[in-house]
A and B are shown apart, each in its own frame.
Chain A
């Protein structure tokens, strides 16, 4: 098959970017979308043009590196699928495909389709952990966790940190990512001692970098792991409760 790619090219973080159009023929329908870019790049290098920079690594939908906005949809047309798992058989012969980087104020463009998602790491650093220094743990089976609780925590923990939710959001909010991380830990018994501090710190750090959520729900549709926006509701509930708890603790101390 043959496709026409319109790709965002930007040589550096401060350079101005523009769209370039490339015709790619002899595309096999068994190719993944990233293999299409491998072929494009090989041909560009052959012609003496610089290849398109894009992030990728595992190519199995788990590392969260790949991040292409395909025809206006983060990770493209197939639901629950990261860019690297998308295959060309999902496109028509002759398709015109526009590919852009994630667009969000908190994710500055590094080059072409590569963005800097470090703001996600800052959110996790602000509280997305359980303090459990190595060597101090009791036997794993001393902490009983009902299967349903472990399963819900796992539903949230599956987030791959790709940022599609932010790219999909008209406000560039990171609520789905942040909620997934917070609720993974806040649902578990081990996460209780730091629960209120965690949600307060992480939400505040999120707000420092990202836009605010106005409940569009685009994030859930874009998420390759189909993480539910119910986690955002749970996070909001915990956040409100935390304000109350923190105050009460403060007054008790005083």
Chain B
């Protein structure tokens, strides 16, 4: 099937307005005749569900969390970008667009990114009106901070809890619509399959996590806003329950998975402390403004950091990138740390970190300034490690943080399966091969508040008068049966190893072979090991208890089973992409000084994979990327 991204014609600055004029509309009185299912209540899902309900659609929402407010978006710390130009520093829609395309290493679709930059300004207005307590100046105006990859100050924030406050805003708007009866909420309800009839998405099958009941739900359209798949690596900064299941099941029902190998590794996280480590904690990127990153020059230097004199330290980022120093973009900083640790210069008990040192900043600015800037982060660090970062340098190491890949969508955010829309981190759309800080929150809310409500009518309008396929249709019974069969199969294995054991093993395979550096050899190794592990899982996993109660092992089993399939596709995608770009670093493709080397002639496309029934041979579809407004160039931060 040819991939049609449905990018509107005309100059880039007018595409979105023209498109909104051209799409078919559903008149206000008719909107209530349409039912839409939204899966996920993170920023993308909650904002979409609330906005669709405000327009008059009947909305049904599912989340596996006990409350919509607990979605993973709640954990975002730093902020949200918008091209407001409140600082008078020459920001503009065009500059935000340009920064995002460049930051993404020229692997994003221009038209989508431009629209994102355009609606970014409306997002801030919307959130302020809802009562999001953004940081303010003394005069009462909105405050901004700067973030990596940009030369302007365009990030809005609410202390260190921006994601929490934005999500509460969307959750409250959703609560309002629930109260009004426009939204029906199913909490602790996990979507386990997509129902597709004659190639069209017509509903979902979900499991009530408290009672185990499996039910079918039909609608005119299904919206997935189910987040990213970073937990395929087991250890990541994502919340523990974040997973790929909804997207993967949709993929197996026909939706294409795009650029799964584009994953982001964040340079400043707290290194793992022992084998029991269950997740990694992010330390905000803003720390790199004042902290200096270094390792001892000598291998195996066992002296405490304070006793290592200046001349025996290597401030490797400042040495290798004099222009940007400690503020190089995420992918560059992460690879540089890895290089040092791999070379044996890592620090800490497990030799798995590098120092992030504030001693100079404390000398220069005084402890109180550092405390004011980073007090809460220092406290969080101390809680986790038991070390006082005012006295001993922090130890940090890169960790998986975000996934740019996801289900393929067109300009309307519809997947290749008609009636299936994908929003937020779950889609592949706007960040190319690397996401800039503070842009995920922006994208989630852009998709949910402004894009989907404007585009979904185009699909629904022609269906006026038609009822959704009812859940009595045999296709629902069939899908439900396959879900039930999988659950019975899990419960009947009664093997010897826990689900977590398999998850950790998978995590090791993909981290070692498809993490910060990838090669033909490492990827082929992973592609050989994952199917073997998958087979072992299906023969030897031990899931106790029954299916008709709250059973957290069973929930995890479904998610890990999907990661075991998805992980292989991620490695295959990484293997086929014979270039380095953004977060995807193939050791075979680097410049003389070890920087990522793109291949625009052969790989300036989106790789959209189709499930063929055989994990070893997915079918590749290409969406060629056209760059008409941004000039392709090699990134340099020297």
Residue numbers of A with Cβ under 8 A of B are 11-12, 28-32, 34-35, 38-39, 41-42, 45-46, 48-51, 53, 55-60, 62-65, 81, 85, 87, 89, 110-111, 114, 116-118, 120-121, 124-126, 128-141, 143-147, 150, 153-154, 157-158, 160-161, 184-185, 188, 190-191
Least CB distance, B591 to chain A, in whole angstroms: 37
Least CB distance, B275 to chain A, in whole angstroms: 9
B569 within 8 A of A: no
User: Which residue among A51, A58, A59, A111 has the maximum number of chain B CB atoms within 10 Å of its CB?
Assistant: A58
Question: 21 A–B contact pairs at CB < 8 A?
Answer: A31-B276, A38-B500, A56-B240, A57-B65, A58-B239, A62-B161, A85-B384, A87-B384, A110-B210, A111-B550, A114-B550, A118-B187, A125-B175, A136-B129, A139-B125, A140-B84, A140-B125, A140-B127, A140-B128, A145-B136, A188-B131
Partner of B125, one of A29, A60, A87, A138: A138
B217 within 8 A of A: no
Over the window 174-212 of chain B, the binary record of Cβ atoms lying under 8 Å from chain A Cβ atoms (1 yes, 0 no) is: 011011000001010000000000000000000000100
| Chain B residues, CB < 8 A from A184 | 131, 133
Least CB distance, A134 to chain B, in whole angstroms: 4
Contact B134 A150 (CB under 8 A): yes
Contact A132 B129 (CB under 8 A): yes
- Which residues between 54 and 95 of chain B lie within 8 Å of chain A, taking CB atoms? 54, 65-70, 72, 74-75, 84, 86
Partner of B176, one of A42, A56, A131, A146: A131
Least CB distance, B448 to chain A, in whole angstroms: 9
| Chain B residues, CB < 8 A from A120 | 67
| Chain B residues, CB < 8 A from A124 | 171-172, 175
Contact A137:B129 (CB < 8 A) given known A35-B278, A118-B67, A146-B136: yes
Assembled-state Cα–Cα distance A213/B66 (Å) = 26
User: Which residue among B50, B66, B137, B241 has the maximum number of chain A CB atoms within 10 Å of its CB?
Assistant: B66
Partner of A89, one of B277, B386, B552: B386
| Chain B residues, CB < 8 A from A153 | 131, 133
| Chain B residues, CB < 8 A from A85 | 380, 383-384
Assembled-state Cα–Cα distance A57/B179 (Å) = 27
Closest to A225 in B: B161
Least CB distance, B288 to chain A, in whole angstroms: 20
Contact A117:B66 (CB < 8 A) given known A63-B75, A128-B172: yes
Over the window 310-354 of chain B, the binary record of Cβ atoms lying under 8 Å from chain A Cβ atoms (1 yes, 0 no) is: 000000000000000000000000000000000000000000000
Closest A-B pairs by Cβ, 10 of them = A144-B140, A129-B172, A137-B129, A132-B129, A140-B128, A137-B125, A30-B273, A154-B133, A134-B51, A150-B136
How many residues of B are counted as interface, with CB atoms below 8 angstroms from the partner's CB atoms? 78
Closest to A188 in B: B131
Assembled-state Cα–Cα distance A157/B168 (Å) = 9
Partner of B138, one of A56, A62, A133, A147: A147
| Chain B residues, CB < 8 A from A130 | 129-131, 172
Contact B500 A42 (CB under 8 A): yes
Assembled-state Cα–Cα distance A110/B498 (Å) = 23
Assembled-state Cα–Cα distance A57/B240 (Å) = 5
| Chain B residues, CB < 8 A from A12 | 549-550
Closest to B64 in A: A57
| Chain B residues, CB < 8 A from A128 | 172, 175
Contact B137 A147 (CB under 8 A): yes
Assembled-state Cα–Cα distance A170/B356 (Å) = 46
Partner of A59, one of B128, B164, B278: B278
| Chain B residues, CB < 8 A from A146 | 136, 138, 140
| Chain A residues, CB < 8 A from B54 | 133-134
Assembled-state Cα–Cα distance A143/B273 (Å) = 47
Contact B276 A190 (CB under 8 A): no
| Chain A residues, CB < 8 A from B542 | 45
Closest to B172 in A: A129
Assembled-state Cα–Cα distance A10/B273 (Å) = 33
Contact B86 A141 (CB under 8 A): yes
Assembled-state Cα–Cα distance A59/B140 (Å) = 34
Contact A117 B67 (CB under 8 A): yes
Closest to A15 in B: B549
Assembled-state Cα–Cα distance A64/B128 (Å) = 24
Closest to A39 in B: B276
Contact A62:B74 (CB < 8 A) given known A35-B276, A124-B172, A134-B51: yes
Assembled-state Cα–Cα distance A224/B138 (Å) = 29
Assembled-state Cα–Cα distance A31/B54 (Å) = 46
Contact A63 B449 (CB under 8 A): no
Over the window 35-49 of chain B, the binary record of Cβ atoms lying under 8 Å from chain A Cβ atoms (1 yes, 0 no) is: 000000000000100
Contact B386 A137 (CB under 8 A): no
Contact B135 A150 (CB under 8 A): yes
Assembled-state Cα–Cα distance A59/B389 (Å) = 21
B458 within 8 A of A: no
Partner of A58, one of B72, B130, B175, B187: B72
Contact A141:B142 (CB < 8 A) given known A42-B500, A51-B544: yes
B405 within 8 A of A: no
Over the window 135-152 of chain B, the binary record of Cβ atoms lying under 8 Å from chain A Cβ atoms (1 yes, 0 no) is: 111111110000000000
Assembled-state Cα–Cα distance A34/B65 (Å) = 18
Least CB distance, B279 to chain A, in whole angstroms: 5
| Chain B residues, CB < 8 A from A118 | 66-67, 187
Contact B75 A60 (CB under 8 A): yes
| Other 11 A-B pairs with CB < 8 A, given A50-B545, A59-B279, A184-B131 | A39-B276, A46-B498, A60-B380, A81-B383, A129-B172, A134-B126, A139-B125, A140-B128, A145-B136, A146-B138, A147-B140
Contact A134 B50 (CB under 8 A): yes
Contact A35:B277 (CB < 8 A) given known A64-B69, A87-B383: yes
Contact A53:B552 (CB < 8 A) given known A62-B161, A129-B130: yes
Least CB distance, A1 to chain B, in whole angstroms: 13
Contact B553 A51 (CB under 8 A): yes
B615 within 8 A of A: no
Least CB distance, A229 to chain B, in whole angstroms: 20
Least CB distance, B529 to chain A, in whole angstroms: 22
| Chain A residues, CB < 8 A from B176 | 125, 129, 131
| Chain B residues, CB < 8 A from A57 | 65, 70, 72, 239-241
| Chain B residues, CB < 8 A from A141 | 86, 141-142
Least CB distance, A107 to chain B, in whole angstroms: 11
| Chain A residues, CB < 8 A from B68 | 121
